[in-house]
Structure 1
Amino acid sequence: MSVVHIEMTFDFICPWCLIGKRNLEAAVRRLASLRPQVQVQLSWLGMQLLPEVPEQGEPFADFYVRRLGGKRALRARQAEVRAAARRAGVEIDLARIQTMPNSARAHRLFLRAAQLGSAAQSRALLDGLFRAYFQDGEDLGQAGTLRALLRRHGYDPEDFAEALAEASRYFIGRRVGLADISVPLFLVDGRPFALGAQSPEQLLAALCRTLDRQAQAQAQSAQRVSA
């Protein structure tokens, strides 16, 4: 059995990352039925997409009206997001979101949680953070919100004092090239294989092509060694 490590970059404030996560998980489930000899390890790479957002956050609608150039553009983008979310089976309630948060605290918290908890606990916390923002409209920039989420997922907030201390310092995770400016980015064994709003079918096809190229390269290398 071969083991492949699949990663996805994300920011908690990006709806395409939540949609991409769900689509990637669907693609991996389909891969398991197509190629049962491949064992997949999934992990998530945090990236702060908008470090310029103030520590206290800013009004959600105002932020996007300014960023997209007007209310009509905002309505069109939100309709696009809702349609993509429906296709992915993801619940997103944009009307409940009042604040565009600075996500540095949330990223430092999740990185620390991955060091302290089990893989299952870390996955549950990630889902909880996405749900808190996109379904419940909670402000992920506030330390109190994050402490409550930690308790809800079995962590002791006292273990996260440094991560929760301040949000003004830009969060810099692992550097992976395109991921420094783009999310979601999908990687196999550290190499990108897809970028952006990809359907499960597109992700599966790109993943299979990448695995085939890897297998071909390994076979050619083995031939050279035996020659």
Structure 2
Amino acid sequence: MSGPIAIDIWSDIACPWCYIGKRRLESGLAEYAASEDAVPVEITYHSFELAPETPVDFAGGVVDHLVKAKGLAPAQVQQMLERVTGLAADEGLDYHFENVQHTNTVKAHQLLHLAKAHGLQLEMKERLLKAYFEQGRHVGHVEDLADLAVEVGLDRDEVVRELTADTYLDAVHADQAQARAYGINGVPFFVIDGKYGVSGAQEPATFVEVLSTVARERAGLVSQS
């Protein structure tokens, strides 16, 4: 097989582990790219909604949502968020859960599909995650999403038009159907070269190992059984 190694990633904007996993993947890619047998990679993000029932204008914060969704005590949730914040900091991320505006993410996922059509999906994904976890920006309203989209080079009028019309909603649903077919029930989830699945925000070395294996297989150095 020739061409770049495909890395297909299922994730949600409102998933703190997805941002951490993104950074760890990037670290792994940087290490892998320095190896002699490195093959170019092509990353595509796919839609996965952790809480599709969430209203756009959710009344409360992240703690309120998790208390209700997971049945945990507020103190337990706070402890959990502090741990995740610390792990995010290790990856250079500055989470502020106290400012996060929890919301429905289906429009944000549609925006990622629109950005993909313009070759700007990776930039849009990074902008949405940063806006949500670090800046306390709202990522559920069309107008707010359009503001963020303009920052990465998309046309505001097109974004408003396409998100209002739900042009990419079928694409979001197709991603979700594929996730179910793969048996994905949590994110982030990485499918590498269409055959290797990596679940969770794994350490960079895990990605290096899988990519190196794929490269060796393509070179005929190991069995692809």
Aligned to 1:26: 27
**Matched residue of 1:172: which SS?**
helix
Aligned to 1:100: 102
Aligned to 2:192: 188
Aligned to 2:86: 83
Q: Does structure 1 retain, via aligned residues, the 8 Å contact 2:13–2:128?
A: yes
Aligned to 1:114: 116
Q: Does structure 2 retain, via aligned residues, the 8 Å contact 1:101–1:139?
A: yes
Any unmatched runs of 5+ in structure 2? Answer: none
Q: Does structure 1 retain, via aligned residues, the 8 Å contact 2:8–2:192?
A: yes
Q: Highest CA radius of gyration, 1 or 2?
A: 1
Aligned to 1:39: 40
Further displaced range: 203-212 or 27-36? 203-212
Provide, for residues 170-215 of structure 1, a one-character-per-residue CA deviation record: whole Å limited to 9, x for no partner: 9424214446421101111223431012111233234434554564
The match for 1:217 among 206, 217, 223 is 223
Note the 1:106-145 alignment, pairs <5 A: 106-115=108-117, 117-118=118-119, 121-145=120-144
Note the 1:158-169 alignment, pairs <5 A: 158-160=157-159, 161-165=161-165
Q: 1:48 to 1:88 in 2, by over 3 A?
A: same
Aligned to 1:62: 64
Any unmatched runs of 5+ in structure 1? Answer: 221-227
**Matched residue of 2:34: which SS?**
helix
What's the TM-score, normalizing by structure 1? 0.83
Aligned to 1:155: 154
**Matched residue of 2:223: which SS?**
helix
Residue-pair matches, total: 213
CA RMSD of aligned residues (A): 2.4
Q: Which letter maps to 1:78?
A: L
Aligned to 1:48: 49
Residue identity over aligned pairs, in percent, reads: 24
Q: Does structure 1 retain, via aligned residues, the 8 Å contact 2:142–2:163?
A: no
How many angstroms does 1:148 deviate by? 0.8
CA distance in 1 between partners of 2:201 and 2:52 (Å) = 22
